[in-house]
Structure 1
Amino acid sequence: MLISLVVPCFHEADTVRRFHDRVTREIGPLAPTTAFEFVYVDDGSRDDTLTHIRELAATDARVRYVSFSRNFGKEAAMLAGLRHATGDAVVIMDADLQHPPELIGRMISLHAQGHDQVVARRNRTGDRFTRALTARAYYRLVNRLVDVEFVDGVGDFRLLSRRAVDAVLRLTEYNRFSKGLFAWIGFPTATFSYENEVRAQGRSKYTFGKLLNYGLDGVLSFNDKPLRAALYLGLALLTVAGLYTAWIVGDALVNGVDTPGYVTLLVAVTAFSGVQMVMLGVIGEYVGRIYYETKRRPHFLVSETDGEPHTRPYPGPAASQLMNDSLVEPVARTTPAA
């Protein structure tokens, strides 16, 4: 059995070699029965990440790599890795060593028991109280809205069988939210918990703004309930306005016309304007997603690679369509001359 290790990298020059050495040590005892390949995806790093990956590819025949023309984001990097992986199963993990390589063997063992997805769920040990509280509140709210279940602590660190990988590759939408896509495809799934490790080097690339946008992507990618909520809110406001109008007219008929309430009018106009802007924003988010989908731009552009996307037949886009995202010829497995 061949296991592909898909590793998105962005500014990981200080850790990618350490990651490779540690994973190599961990998978060594599994070698008699399991073969491995590494698929590194350089997401447009501006440091020496690509240089280190080239050197790894030159010294380890199991290493393959893809390098983007610029930073397209982790979602695109994972998609590229899945397209280039040739294994019977794929393990997705980060290069910062927060995903313990020691768990790879456990994932393979659970996969052998018939599970198409083996998910490592990190606990919240060591997290700040506010962050843990915010995460729990987010998942509780989101799971009331979306059509799939999001589990707190479950991320991209998982093993996917070949048929699970092929199913994910059939989902070609431009606005990708992999955590939701993995839940959407289903298949028998095993989940176990682990304690998250401290980053080996540097800081997380996810700022508060990026996390907020990522959370909104999760809400908007798997349901249309915000649009339905806008409709219900509009109907409710229309009902309130009708009742208020009837009360004002009735009061004027009984007691006569009084001096207009300018403060009340100002507050009402401001409040309704705010509601309208929020609803327009919700509609705009969905329209914007449709706009990007209709452009049919590739998810990423490849500037350098040492191989072509995996072309094993599966029901979904033709291999030629998958190649649209790989617009360069494969290069030799050597470091280019200075």
Structure 2
Amino acid sequence: MLISIVAPCYNEEAVLERFHDRIQAVAEDLLPLGHDMEFVYVDDGSRDRTLAVLKRLAERDARVRYVSFSRNFGKEAALLAGLRHASGDAVVVMDADLQHPPELIRRMVQLREEGHDQVVARRTRTGDGLARTLTARLYYRLVNRLVDVELVDGAGDFRLLSRRVVDAALALTEYNRFSKGLFAWVGFPSTAFTYENAAREAGRSSWNLRGLLNYGIDGLLSFNNRPLRAALWLGMVLLCCAGLYTAWIVGAALIHGVQTPGYVTIITAVTALAGVQMVMLGVIGEYTGRIYYEVKRRPHFLVKATNVERTKDLIP
């Protein structure tokens, strides 16, 4: 079995060579079992010397294939590029910062041989702060009540995919991609195991609070239209409340006459309703914006440099 390692990279100059050395060691362990490896690195427009390191690795190891973007297109685009360039019978998707221990690949391969098309490495939250852990658990609980697929807390991009899962994921051509949800949507027999969370060995994570929030919103909106349905139901509830309040005001005026007090109530109601309207417009705008990006049909990424064949996303 040929195993493709797909590793998106963004400013990973400090750790790339160590990552490749550990991956090579895993490849040597699997070789006696009849498994070979190729390494597909995707440089997501890094601003350091990541591309230079990848070129050096390619000169040293003929199994290394690299693709470098013209700018930073995001991790989802890098994952897509890696899957398009992977030719293996199975593909292992993982980060290049060593937070995904390469030694777990052997276990993934063993589970693949048992007939599983997806083998997911689910990390524990050991070492995470209490606030982050609680927020993540609440997010997954909320999302799984809304979306059409099940997202597992701790199950990220670190996973082994069979060729038919990769082909199915590549057949989904939407511009706004949420790979974790796409892998769950395509289905096929899958299994998971847990591993202890590992710290980065070098460099600094490019994820920040804003990025995590945007990623969470993508997951929420990518696989359902329930926020739009919720907006409709909320509008109907507010309409009923407004009707009851109007009836109460008219009844009070008929019984007690018109009274001047009520300024605070009116201002509160107007402000609250305006806030709800803005939220609902924001939800509608999110879906409209996604439609806008889809109909433009722009490429997911542009390639600046590569040592493999040109892709259809590379404009000549």
Instruction: Please classify the TM superposition score into its range, dividing by the shorter chain length.
Output: over 0.9
Deviation at 1:254, TM superposition (A): 1.8
Superposed counterparts of 1:293-332, under 5 Å: 293-308=294-309, 323-328=311-316
Deviation at 1:53, TM superposition (A): 0.3
Aligned match of 1:18: 18
Aligned match of 1:93: 94
Aligned match of 1:71: 72
| Maintained 8 Å contact 2:27/2:36 | no
What is the CA–CA distance in structure 2 between the aligned matches of 1:270 and 1:133, rounded to whole Å? 31
Q: Is 1:231 aligned with 2:219?
A: no
What is the CA–CA distance in structure 2 between the aligned matches of 1:327 and 1:91, rounded to whole Å? 28
What is the CA–CA distance in structure 2 between the aligned matches of 1:156 and 1:2, rounded to whole Å? 20
Q: Which amino acid aligns with 2:185?
A: W
What is the CA–CA distance in structure 2 between the aligned matches of 1:71 and 1:49, rounded to whole Å? 13
What is the CA–CA distance in structure 1 between the aligned matches of 2:160 and 2:198, rounded to whole Å? 19
Deviation at 1:22, TM superposition (A): 1.1
Structure 1, unaligned runs of 5 or more: 310-322, 329-338
Q: Is 1:205 aligned with 2:193?
A: no
What is the CA–CA distance in structure 2 between the aligned matches of 1:88 and 1:20, rounded to whole Å? 20
Superposed counterparts of 1:147-226, under 5 Å: 147-226=148-227
Secondary structure in 2 aligned to 1:197? coil
What is the CA–CA distance in structure 2 between the aligned matches of 1:106 and 1:39, rounded to whole Å? 20
| Maintained 8 Å contact 1:118/1:158 | yes
Deviation at 1:260, TM superposition (A): 4.7
What is the CA–CA distance in structure 2 between the aligned matches of 1:113 and 1:326, rounded to whole Å? 38
Q: Which amino acid aligns with 2:314?
A: S
Superposed counterparts of 1:106-145, under 5 Å: 106-145=107-146
Deviations 1:241-292 (A, max 9, x none): 1111111112212222111511111111111100100100011011010111
Aligned match of 2:2: 2
Q: Which amino acid aligns with 2:2?
A: L
Secondary structure in 2 aligned to 1:3? strand
Q: Is 1:256 aligned with 2:261?
A: no
Moved over 2 A (4+): none
Share of identical aligned residues, percent? Answer: 70
Deviation at 1:308, TM superposition (A): 2.2
| Maintained 8 Å contact 2:169/2:183 | yes
CA-based RMSD: 1.0
| Maintained 8 Å contact 1:303/1:327 | no
Deviation at 1:128, TM superposition (A): 1.1
What is the CA–CA distance in structure 2 between the aligned matches of 1:262 and 1:126, rounded to whole Å? 52
What is the CA–CA distance in structure 2 between the aligned matches of 1:308 and 1:137, rounded to whole Å? 44
| Maintained 8 Å contact 1:120/1:158 | yes
Q: Which amino acid aligns with 2:290?
A: R
Q: Is 1:277 aligned with 2:278?
A: yes
Aligned match of 2:31: 31
What is the CA–CA distance in structure 2 between the aligned matches of 1:241 and 1:210, rounded to whole Å? 38
Q: Which amino acid aligns with 2:6?
A: V
Q: Which amino acid aligns with 2:74?
A: G
| Maintained 8 Å contact 2:8/2:75 | yes
Secondary structure in 2 aligned to 1:192? strand
| TM-score under structure 2 length normalisation | 0.98
Secondary structure in 2 aligned to 1:324? coil
Secondary structure in 2 aligned to 1:135? helix
Query: Number of aligned pairs?
Result: 315
Deviations 1:87-139 (A, max 9, x none): 01100111100100111111111101111000000011111111111111111
